[in-house]
Structures are given as structure tokens and as C-alpha cells.
Amino acid sequence: MSPLVLLFIILASLSSCFGYHIEEPLYQTNAYERYPMHNYWRFNNAKHERFGFMTRANRATPHSSISVDDFGAKADGRDDTEAFQKAWNEACSRGASLVVPENRIYLLKPITFSGPCQPNTAFMIYGTIKAWPVMSAYEPDRLHWIVFDSVSNFKVDGGGTFNGNGKIWWQNSCKTNTNLAVTFNECNNLRVANLRFKDAQQMHVTFQRCFNVIVSNLVVKAPGNSPNTDGIHVSETHNIQISNSEIGTGDDCISIVSGSQNVRVTDITCGPGHGISIGSLGADNSEAEVSNVVVNRATLRGTSNGVRIKTWQGGHGYARNIKFLNIVMQNVTNPIIIDQYYCDQQVPCQEQVSGVQLSKVLYQNIRGTSASEVAIKFECSKSVPCREIYVEDVILEPEGGSGGTIATCENVRYVNRGKFFPQCSPSIK
């Protein structure tokens, strides 16, 4: 065999071993830096095998299962909370799968599934878990229904349903007492997949102070007029991927708030609802920190907002390195909005001199129709203007083709490339 042939075989084998990685196109100007998100995801994808639930060996290894029925759950309309707690304690101590059988509906009062657990503990829900319908059962803690607390190397899967039985809550809705239907608190190396969340009391599923999270193939549904029923809420969580999910609720489809970093959202269908939001940030003069957020390949239908960043006056901190890519708007009110004068209270907010700094925000390849005349609204702070805002190939036309769309832009410095319609006034740019 000739040396050249031998060299070609060696190079080909190396290529097949190491594979390749395709990065998303980046918007680049002299002022716009390459985001560290790409370095993070390249590293993290290579390290997925460190998550116990993702290795081939673990998938192939026999895994013991514990049915809630074996601990006395009846699914007959009576309270099954105690049986679930006993089954969880056993599964957690053994690193086993707790199984919620299919074609059965179990009623639960507020419950916390606490860790730490043995590695590879799982919660496999094939049937339905439904919230207890009497509100007095929630008096000790009206803020939570189901909590998974401090569980690592953990997955929740199975194709079943969490039903928050929310109608009684919606009739007595109060934003100061937000009820979180399913909460993951301080869970590391977590996978939540192939589940339905329905009619939550308020927020459907919350990730709070978690690290390394993969969320995929969720269906989250509530009526469009159900109050405060965010679909997926991300708070103080680092390294989370949300993908291939359908969300339609009465509030934000996805909300990302302070303390969150390295958030990647891909292939989401949203509507009805309030769109995909970062914030609100800076309420009650608080500090906000959000960075490295990518929303890629989303379709929004009939929502009251599209992609939104909302901050209160008086806050401080930052939201930066944010990308909205490849998004389709269909009959969306306020398709693109930055609102630094957000004021969600009955008493008018007083103008303040401090604000959350917004910078390095990219809008790329966003197209579709606006239900409102104002398709793009950059309402930035006078004291802390938005800076390094990049717009590339954004076209938002009026729904139905009649009338027109406009952009209102205040206290913002932006750069545009490619097509941009409707444009801000040159005097405001």
C-alpha cells in the first residue's frame, strides 16, 4: 500500500472518530463579540455522557421499578398523597424508578419529593396526577403543589400528565400568592421529557436554582384566559436546554428571570399566551442578572407578545448576550418588544433614575405578521439606554395585508443589516 493511500485512510478514520460540529451563524460587527454560549454548548454536548440518565450503559442496565399502587395508591378519587410519599422514599433510597401506572388518575395534595437520592432515581409517570380540588388542603403552603427538591442525576419521563385542576384557583387568582404547580428546586443533572402539563393553578413547571437541565417534548396547555399560568418558568438556573415543546397558556409560554445563565430554547410552538419573555427584571429596586440566552426556531401564533424583554424602573444589574433567531410570527400583537418601563401594578410607577442595563441583543431572521400597528417597540430607559442592539433580516407586515406597521424606538442604539421592516426613524437610531 502506498504512503499516500495509508495517510488518506488514517485521516478518514480520525474524521469518523471525532465527527464535526456546526455552529449557528453569528451576527458580527466590530462592536459585537462572539458569544461564549457556543463554547459552552460545544463543551456541554461532549460531556452529556456525564449525566447518569444519558449514557448507553445506564439505558441498557436493568433498573428496578416501584409502583405507587404497591404502597396503597388507589386512583379512586381519594387522597393518594401518603402512598406516593412512601413509594418515593423507597425509590429514592434505592435509586429506583417510581412508576405511576397508565390509565389511572391519582389525586394528590401538596407534596415534596426530597433528595438527595441514590443516583439514577427516576419518576416515570404514565397515568395522570391531578391536584386535590379542595383549596383548604393548601393552607400550610399555598405557593406549591408538587416539589422535587435537591434531587440530582434524576429524570422525570413517561408520557403522562400533571393536571393542576386550576379552575378553582383562577377564580381566586392573586399575583402576590403565585402557586407553582410543579417545581424543580436545586436539582442538578436533570432531565424532564415526554410529559403533559395541564391547567396549572398558576405557573405550570418551574426550574429554580437548578444546574444542567434538559427539557424536551413537553405539551403545556391551559385556556388563554387563565391568569398567571406561565408555561415554563426559569429562575436562577444555569445550563438549561428547552426543546421540541408545544405551549399554550394564559401567560408567558416561557419566562426567564434573574439569575439565569446559559439558557437555550429551540423548536418551540407558542400560543395562546404572552409570548417568550425575559423578565420581568428589577422589581422592587432589585438586582437582575441574565446572560447567554438563545431562542432559536420558534413559532408564535396569536399571542399578545412575541419575543419580549421587560424590566422595571429602579432596578439594576444587566441582561446581555441574548439572541432571538429564526422566529415566525403569525398574527402576533407586539412581535418584538423591549419594555424598560414595565409596571404590572394598580398604582402608577414613579419614574426613577436607575435601570437594568440591556446590551448585546440580536434579532435575526424574524418574519411574519403583526396584529398591531406597532410591530417593533424599543422603549428603553432614559437613564440607562439600550446599547448594542442588532437587527438582521427582520420583516413584520400587517396581518391580513391591509394597513401598515411601524417601529417605535426610544433611547436605543442599534445596528441593522439585511432587510429590516418596519424601520425606526433615522433620528432615533
Supply the residues annotated as catalytic.
251, 274
Helix, strand, coil percent values for the chain (each to nearest 5): 15, 45, 40
Three-state DSSP at 37 gives helix
Give the torsion sign (CA, 419, 241, 37, 316): positive
Complete DSSP assignment for 187-255: -EEEEEEEEEEES-SSEEEEEES-EEEEEEEEEEE--TT-TT--SEEEES-EEEEEEEEEEE-SS-SEE
Q: Are 257 and 280 in contact (CB under 8 A)?
A: yes
Longest CA pairwise span in the chain (Å):
84
Copy the grid coordinates of residue 130.
Answer: 391531578
Residue 394 CA to residue 388 CA, distance in Å, equals 16
Mode of pairing for the β-strands spanning 374-379 and 336-339: parallel
Helices (H), 50-199: 56-60, 81-94, 167-170
Residue 362 CA to residue 388 CA, distance in Å, equals 8
- Three-state secondary structure readout of 342-373: CCCCCCCCCCCCCCCEEEEEEEEEEEEEECCC
In one-letter notation, the amino acid at residue 220 is V
CA 83 vs CA 22, 77, 140, 160: distances in Å: 48, 14, 20, 18
Q: Are 364 and 393 in contact (CB under 8 A)?
A: yes
Q: Are 398 and 370 in contact (CB under 8 A)?
A: yes
Residue 215 CA to residue 331 CA, distance in Å, equals 27
